[in-house]
Chains A and B, each alone.
Chain A
């Protein structure tokens, strides 16, 4: 089992676009992977679950994975947070003419 703490640095929090990116990143991982905030546990495969975290900017989340390839999947999630979710780059949002939430 692998665990790591990540911090939400997205201005608008962990909304639907980054939640979808997490679900996509873990799609091919067939083990258990969850994000946890306090007593709320979200299956990273489920956007519905991830939105339950209501993780605003500055929130720390614990990522936990277990199964074949768990280290890789935790790395992939941590990387999304570290890069502040590439899809959220301000330039991309400006090009699209939307705030991208």
Chain B
């Protein structure tokens, strides 16, 4: 699976305004809604489901990265957006460090395999120090998209 197959380019947020976990998730879901990938009447439900998932354990998995996610029947394929926080967010991460890079996933409930493949793809790239550094240096949607494309092509 490639990042550019499920990341929504127009929903990428290179400079997140949010300063808290809740605000960050709302801002990222708004990005997917504004890109036309989440219906207006479902965004509140999806935000609530992601926040409930966070209560089970933070998706801040260390290295300054978080992968908030949920399943929702209103999406018919795996979708994802990427956000960069310049100041860092307290995400109650496993390693106690602030989060600067977020990949938010929404997947259809009946496709657990796609969800696992999406997580595997994202985390495979996030293990690369170069990928994380270049992502944090990206300041526009186009720069983030180019980096994702390069990662898909095996260039980072």
Which A positions have Cβ atoms within 8 angstroms of B?
Answer: 11-17, 20, 23, 46-49, 51-57, 87, 96-101
Contact = CB atoms under 8 A, between A and B. Distances in A.
15 contacts: A12-B112, A16-B67, A16-B119, A17-B57, A20-B57, A20-B61, A47-B62, A48-B62, A48-B123, A96-B55, A97-B49, A97-B52, A98-B52, A99-B109, A101-B69
Contacts of A98: 49, 52-53, 56, 70
Interface residues of B, number: 29
B117 interface: yes
Interface string B55-81: 111010111010101110000000000
B120 interface: yes
Contact of B115 (A15, A46, A47, A96): A15
Contacts of B70: 98-99, 101
B116 interface: yes
B94 A52 contact: no
B113 A101 contact: no
A17 B67 CA distance: 12
B127 A48 contact: yes
A87 B62 contact: no
